[in-house]
Homo-oligomer: A and B are copies of this chain.
Amino acid sequence: MSIHARLAELGILLPTPAAPVATYVPVVVHGGMAVVSGQLPMEAGALAVTGKLGAGVELAAGQRAARLCLINVLAQLEAALPGGLDQVVRIIRLGGFIAATADFTDHAKVMNGASDLAVEIFGERGRHARSTVGVPSLPLDAAVEIEALIGL
């Protein structure tokens, strides 16, 4: 099954990818890998989840933010790769930054919102290495930011 058919089956519509607001680019392809810039939880052109885990943002909202970050990663890849998402051989690594308080401990559960979706969409190709950490603040008060390393 093509990745597009699988996305349709899951009811996921890829958004128009967010344009970087500076001199960097969303995706660089080099040496058989694609490096995807950190993506925020954008939905319909706006940040969907802002604030901190542990101070007002509930676990479910954090998981939704992580899921949206991954959808934005995929939208960037779809736009940047000549063959679109069907060129993805492996999701090698996801890096998850969770805006959180000092006493928050459920970062891994938040990040599962992205990891579970990666495997739902890509199957075994979607099983990635990952690092998940807390941060005090993210650009534009986003609740989560996720970057990706993709094998082509």
* A residues apposed to B, CB below 8 Å: 21-28, 30-33, 35-38, 52, 54, 89-90, 92-95, 97, 99-108, 111-112, 115-116, 118-119, 126-141, 145, 147, 149, 151
List, in ascending order, chain B residues with CB within 8 A of A119's CB: 23
Subset of 5 A-B contacts with CB under 8 Å: A23-B116, A23-B127, A24-B94, A97-B133, A100-B136
Which label, helix, strand, loop or mixed, suits the secondary structure of the A interface? Answer: mixed
A106 to B21, CA, bound (A): 12
Known: A90-B30, A116-B23, A140-B105. A133 touches B135 (CB 8 A): yes
Give the interface centre of A21, A23, A138 by most chain B CB atoms within 10 Å.
A23
B102 engages A52 (CB within 8 Å): yes
A139 to B62, CA, bound (A): 14
Cβ-closest chain B residue relative to A130: B24
B25 engages A128 (CB within 8 Å): yes
A134 to B141, CA, bound (A): 10
List, in ascending order, chain B residues with CB within 8 A of A104's CB: 136-137
